[in-house]
A and B are shown apart, each in its own frame.
Chain A
Amino acid sequence: MKKKLFRQIRNEWQANLWLTLELMIVSVVMWYCADLLYSTASMRLMPSGFDRTGCYQVELRQIHPDSPNRIEYSDDPQDPNSFVSDLGRILDILRAIPMVEAVAIGDNAVPYQYNYYGSFLWGTMDGDTLSVNVNRRQMSPDFCRVLGIRGINGETPEELTEILRRGDLIVSENAFHSIADRKNRISDYVGMKIILDGDTSHIRRVGAIMPAMKRTDYEVPWAGTILLGVDEKSSNAEYMGNMALRVKPGQEKEFEEYFRETALRSLHSGNLYVTDVEPFDDLKRVAERFDWIETRNTICCMAFLLLCVFLGLLGTFWFRTQQRVSEISIRKVNGATNWNVFRRLTGEGLGLLCIATVPAVAIDLLLAYFEFNSYYKGFLNTERMVACTGGVFLLMAVMIIAGIWFPARKAMKVDPAVTLRSE
């Protein structure tokens, strides 16, 4: 049976050459796309370290210095006529909105921004020395609740808020990767004394360890992160560029309506006023636009190629079945069932795919060897190669069967008596 199949493929070699060539090109391009999607999806599926559901960035503004409405502020943060006092009033108004769960201020605290505020950590514990550069995110303690951050030892956002409030640091677990091989559990480093940016006068303590924190969902957390607490009532609050809030679960729509129609009118104090809130989803959309465009184009490209394979096979096999009516009739007369006829036709398509896959995989390997594919745990990675080439083969096989399905059904319906009489 198989011998006959291959002989048939050989007999039609000229038409099959085109088809095999097409399948090979499509297979290579599809593999490239699949490889890119595989690495993108793997990065995307890694936990981000925070929960953006119900989070909003608050657009806080200050009256321009040239405005006649601008008032002079006192430098004393305790003075009712100071920036810090006005900020406190705005925060109080936001916290009083019934749908709001938490509000906080920070600097480099809102995700979906490609900022990296490098900070140097140095610390020792039980003979281990940590010396690493990390991304510093400063925030008022409630930011842990806004971002829904949890510790790796099961600390809740509320507990982490308390840890920041007492002046301890929260460090991400990937900051310890350089020394973690000497210990089984990174969580043992809670309590480590840390010198931040070489400032020996302020030794801090690691209060909790959190999972690695990404800047965007597509990015691998390539550097560690520290969360550093800032008191909303201190003069440092003036330098915090971010304000964000979290809405209670499921109340986003209600909040947005209430905010724009009611709350916005009261959100001003002294020189400060709020103009809008932006959902984190919008920030994410802009920050990840290039990754999203690349993913979208790759998926479109794959869909297009699959459709091409489908149409190509459909057209070719439609014609082939028309040509082979008498052959199919003779086979049916000799006892071939409809299933045998269908198997022979699909077997021909799949046989061609197998032939095309051999040089295609060789080209895939060559491309991966010369790093013409995407990076994720290296370029040439056995697990990824098997998954992507296997996946592409299966997808193309499905399209081939789908493409041959219609002509094969037509072939199965051939009535041998009628056909052979006309011969």
Chain B
Amino acid sequence: MKSNLIKQIVYEMRHQPVIGLVTVVGTALAIFLIMVVAMMQEVKTAPFPPESNRDRMLYVKNFDVSTLEGGSEYSTGGISWDVIHELYDTLPGIERISFVAVYVNRADVGVTGNVPFNVDLREVDDEFWNIMDHTFVSGHPFDKASFDAGLKVAVINSTVARNLFGTTEAEGREMLLEQIPYKVVGVIEDVTPLATLAYGEVFIPVREDTKRQTWGSREGTRFGGPIHAIPLLEKGADPQAAREEVKRRVDRFNDRIKEFGIMAGYRGTPFDFEAAHMAFDNSAEPDIAGERRQRLLIYLILLLIPAINLSSMTQSRLRRRVGEIGVRRAFGSTRANIIKDIVSENFVVTVIGGVLGLILSLIFMYLLADVLFIPDQLLSNPPRLNASILFRWATFGYALFFCFILNLISSGIPAWRAARINPVNAINGHSK
């Protein structure tokens, strides 16, 4: 049966090369585009090193304060050190939590006697290293004792290490960060900016002046600040418990600040990774359902239009095989059998096109990553995709799934119609 199927496909391809080629190219094009769209989305939320825990990582980034009457007071893209600890530290179901400065900053590093150069600086705490899994080339991350003591220690990436010291074996060496001496305790492998939270070239403990910064509208009400939190969910835990506790804490916090005529908003935080990517508005919950609907609509359009094309081609192909279908029906083949054969025959062609499309999409993503992904700020490194991001089982799963759907839409109706042909008419060559 299977060899018949392959023989049939080869025969069709040889006798109708243009139709066969157009079908394969059309399928490849559809799968290519849909895979590029799907992978661009995947890169934002799927786990890859050093953000291997993305499926358990939550995120806190926005803060908003309104008047008791409901008017807007202010909103900020970060929370002050004290307030974020008050609201988010030690939550139920949370294994650990890291507090980090909001964005990567441009800072200069150098060694005495040399001209300093710009690097992407990230201020983090000691827990950051337990949540992310950076690869250390030499040395180690800074620990809690160093962080609490406010030691001037730094972890740098391999490129910075080579530029500063000519080697990645830089543990224990001294560098100047904005003209302040820092001791290098560890050197990590370079990280792609696509790992939005783990990316940085130089990592130092959150500085005292960052901890002291508060943002807000007036004296006594400045609760915003430059800190974000990254809670790591316990394995199998439900984030809802943590969210309910945060809501209780926000209520308590609001009781305390109501003397200023204001209240903080609870916006369903901590967000999971997908929601955090959509949370652009500081004072509103991200519309996950709306975003997913929009994505589904895009996938549907990307599948439906090529499917209509392929469907009319399948229909055309089948009209040439009316006689064959008639004979098979006359010899007792059931309609279900005819449909099954046509759909599976088409599926093989779809998979051939799909594999081509997938390979094309992987090459395209690898070569054009810096055009496809534009970081939110000026960074020293372009976004690069590596094998661990590109070659994931989920990617192949998606490709196969999209092929299956495309095949079902494009061959389902023609196969169903072909199977309904009256055998007598079919043998006479009439497609009714």
Contact = CB atoms under 8 A, between A and B. Distances in A.
Given A64-B179, A70-B179, A275-B116, A283 B378 contact: yes
Contacts of B316: 15, 315-316, 319-320
Interface residues of B, number: 38
A308 B309 contact: yes
Contacts of A406: 18
B308 A273 contact: no
A315 B19 contact: yes
Contacts of B25: 311
B106 A285 contact: no
B118 A275 contact: yes
Interface stretch (A22-30, A181-189, A364-372): A22-30
A176 interface: no
Contacts of B108: 61, 273, 275
B180 interface: yes
Contacts of B23: 315
A19 interface: yes
Nearest to A318: B18
B398 interface: no
B312 A25 contact: no
A414 interface: no
Contacts of B304: 25
Contact of A29 (B117, B178, B301): B301
B216 to A, nearest CB: 19
A76 interface: no
Chain A interface, >50% SS class: helix
Interface in B355-394: 371, 374-378
B118 A293 contact: no
A307 B315 contact: no
B106 A59 contact: yes
Given A15-B312, A22-B305, A293-B374, A311 B118 contact: no
A19 B374 contact: no
Contacts of A323: 319
B180 A64 contact: yes
A110 B178 CA distance: 24
Interface string B80-114: 00000000000000000000000000101000000
A293 B375 CA distance: 11
Contacts of B65: none
Given A275-B108, A304-B29, A285 B313 contact: no
Interface residues of A, number: 46
A292 B302 CA distance: 21
Interface in A235-288: 264-265, 273, 275-276, 278, 282-283, 285-286
Contact of B309 (A22, A273, A289): A22
Interface string B207-235: 00000000000000000000000000000
Interface in B113-137: 115-118
26 contacts: A15-B312, A15-B316, A21-B308, A25-B304, A25-B305, A61-B108, A61-B178, A64-B179, A67-B179, A69-B179, A276-B118, A283-B378, A286-B377, A292-B374, A304-B33, A311-B29, A312-B309, A312-B312, A314-B22, A315-B26, A316-B312, A316-B313, A316-B316, A318-B22, A319-B316, A320-B316
Given A63-B179, A67-B178, A286-B377, 14 more contacts: A15-B316, A19-B312, A61-B108, A63-B178, A66-B180, A265-B115, A275-B108, A285-B374, A286-B378, A293-B374, A311-B22, A312-B308, A314-B22, A315-B26
Interface of B: 18-19, 22-23, 25-26, 29, 33, 106, 108, 115-118, 178-181, 301-302, 304-306, 308-309, 311-313, 315-317, 319, 371, 374-378
Interface of A: 15, 18-19, 21-22, 25-26, 29, 59, 61, 63-64, 66-70, 264-265, 273, 275-276, 278, 282-283, 285-286, 289, 292-293, 296, 300, 304-305, 307-308, 311-312, 314-316, 318-320, 323, 406
